């Protein structure tokens, strides 16, 4: 059974056979929800970025984590939507009143890129957090993941809203992270976090800098006081509007970690004490003073959360 699980301006997400399929129209003249379709050049950038993050899954890498959703395959398709996808789209539309164009509206010669992704679970907006320990586990996994990619590839997610963090409960009691010469075994409290959707992200593969130009003023016109809109504006202030080039702005990761803490604090219900709530609020504020996700790793909120930390020997030591 295939079900639609989400949609964005440029594409849609479906789930089936244990995988998630992100379907994005490309290189056509037909408008996608009123917007120009992504070009193959833009799609290539996202493919390159996703495949680069896949390298962090290798345990032999000096930088290691498994918290960026795994891209299993990428395929180019042409033609009409499969009838099972159309059926899933119509069911979603009935339940959620889709804002996207009906897929049968696309011409028969339409090209699509399909990202085949691991199923990371349920997005943070819909996921039910049980207690403060789960909240701290979520935050630490987000921080360490961004720190690893930040150090390895100058990575900035640039769009880590609560729809782009997915969670699941499994039997993994610990997760493994390698950051520079530090090796962390982290208590998960049964929660696994995956970061998804790198459409707006920035990465330096060593051969090429991949980024999305966010110079369109509409990104920064959201209401003041809205934590997501404020985060886009903070990014603009940090970068000075310079989205391209080899200069990395790791503070962009810090402001998105602030966003995650704020959205949890303001929008999610979970078992916690007054002391816990004060600690979360203080952490959220401190995030804005940090210059990178790497710096946040050692924040006081994460004390005693390591199952084990090993300092790895480096050449010359």
The 10s digit of each residue's pLDDT in 3-61 is 999 988 888 999 999 999 999 999 999 998 888 999 999 899 899 999 999 999 998 88
Phi, psi (5° rounding) for residue 89?
-65, -45
Place of tokens 């303001």: 266
Last residue of a domain, one of 72, 91, 118: 118
- In whole angstroms, what is the distance from residue 71 CA to residue 67 CA? 12
Name the β-bridge partners of 38: 26
- In whole angstroms, what is the distance from residue 161 CA to residue 237 CA? 18
- In whole angstroms, what is the distance from residue 82 CA to residue 131 CA? 42
What does pLDDT average to over the chain?
93
Count CA atoms closer than 13 A to 126's CA, side-chain side. 10
Q: What is the per-residue pLDDT across 128-162, written as a single tens digit (0 to 9) for each?
A: 999 999 999 999 999 999 999 999 999 999 999 99
- Verify that 210 and 103 share a domain, yes or no: no
- Verify that 94 and 127 share a domain, yes or no: no
As a whole number of Å, the end-to-end CA separation of the chain is: 55
Using CB atoms within 10 Å of the CB of residue 101, give its burial: 0 to 12 exposed, 13 to 18 middle, 19+ buried.
middle
Query: Helix, strand, coil proportions of the chain in percent (round to 5)?
Result: 35, 25, 40
What pLDDT is attached to residue 77? 96
CA distance to 100, 152, 178, 291, 312, per residue, from 250 (Å): 33, 12, 18, 6, 24
Residues in the chain: 317
* 3-state SS assignment for residue 126: coil
Residues annotated as catalytic (active site), given as ranges: 159
Residue whose C-alpha is closest to residue 122's, from 59, 191, 201 = 191
Phi, psi (5° rounding) for residue 270?
-165, 160
What pLDDT is attached to residue 317? 45
Please give the average per-residue pLDDT across 245-249, as a whole number.
89
Q: What is the CATH number of the domain that holds 285?
A: 1.10.510.10
Last residue of a domain, one of 66, 94, 118: 118
- In whole angstroms, what is the distance from residue 68 CA to residue 211 CA? 17
- Verify that 166 and 69 share a domain, yes or no: no
- Verify that 306 and 197 share a domain, yes or no: yes
- Asked whether residue 8 is domain-assigned, the answer is yes
Give percent of the chain with pLDDT exceeding 90: 82
- Asked whether residue 316 is domain-assigned, the answer is no
- Verify that 44 and 191 share a domain, yes or no: no
Last residue of a domain, one of 94, 118, 142: 118
204 contacts 248 by C-beta, under 8 angstroms: yes
120 contacts 196 by C-beta, under 8 angstroms: yes
DSSP state of 156: B
What pLDDT is attached to residue 304? 84
- Verify that 127 and 114 share a domain, yes or no: no
- Verify that 128 and 112 share a domain, yes or no: no
Number of domains in the chain: 2
**Domain extent for 51:** 3-118
Q: What is the per-residue pLDDT across 171-226, written as a single tens digit (0 to 9) for each?
A: 778 899 999 889 999 989 999 999 999 989 999 999 999 999 999 999 999 999 99
Residue whose C-alpha is closest to residue 167's, from 152, 185, 189, 183 = 189
Q: With the C-alpha atoms ordered 168, 199, 74, 206, is the resulting torsion angle positive or negative?
A: negative
- In whole angstroms, what is the distance from residue 12 CA to residue 62 CA? 34
- Name the pTM for this structure: 0.92
- As given in the structure block, the two tokens for residue 65 are 């984590």
- Verify that 138 and 285 share a domain, yes or no: yes
Q: Which residues of 18-37 are buried (b: 16+ CB within 10 A; e: fewer)?
A: eebbbbbbbbbeeebeeeeb
Q: What is the CATH number of the domain that holds 23?
A: 3.30.200.20
């Amino acid at each position: 059974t295939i079900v639609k699980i989400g949609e964005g301006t440029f594409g849609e997400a479906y789930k089936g056979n244990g995988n998630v399929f992100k379907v994005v129209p490309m290189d056509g003249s037909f408008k996608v929800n009123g917007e120009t379709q992504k070009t193959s050049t833009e799609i290539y950038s996202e493919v390159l970025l996703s495949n680069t993050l896949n390298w962090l899954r290798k345990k032999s890498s000096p930088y290691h984590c498994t918290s960026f959703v795994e891209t299993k395959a990428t395929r180019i398709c042409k033609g009409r939507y499969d009838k099972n996808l159309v059926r899933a789209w119509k069911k979603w539309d009935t339940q959620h009143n889709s804002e996207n164009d009906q897929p049968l509206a696309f011409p028969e010669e339409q090209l699509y890129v399909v990202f085949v992704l691991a199923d990371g679970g349920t997005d943070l907006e819909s996921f039910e957090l049980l207690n403060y320990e789960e909240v701290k586990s979520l935050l630490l996994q987000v921080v360490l993941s961004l720190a690893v990619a930040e150090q390895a590839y100058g990575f900035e997610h640039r769009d880590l809203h609560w729809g782009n963090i997915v969670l699941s409960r499994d039997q993994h009691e610990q997760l493994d992270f390698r950051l520079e010469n530090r090796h962390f075994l982290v208590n998960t409290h049964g929660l696994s976090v995956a970061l998804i959707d790198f459409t707006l992200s920035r990465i330096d593969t060593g051969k090429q800098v991949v980024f999305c130009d966010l110079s369109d003023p509409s990104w920064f016109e959201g209401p003041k006081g809205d934590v997501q809109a404020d985060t886009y504006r903070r990014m603009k202030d940090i970068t000075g509007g310079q989205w391209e080039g080899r200069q990395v702005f790791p503070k962009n990761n810090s402001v998105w970690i602030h966003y995650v803490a704020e959205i949890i604090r303001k929008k999610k219900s979970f078992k916690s004490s007054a002391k816990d709530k004060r600690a979360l609020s203080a952490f959220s504020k401190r995030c804005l003073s940090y210059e990178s996700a790497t710096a946040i790793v050692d924040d006081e909120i994460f004390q005693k959360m390591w199952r084990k930390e090993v300092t790895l020997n480096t050449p010359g030591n």
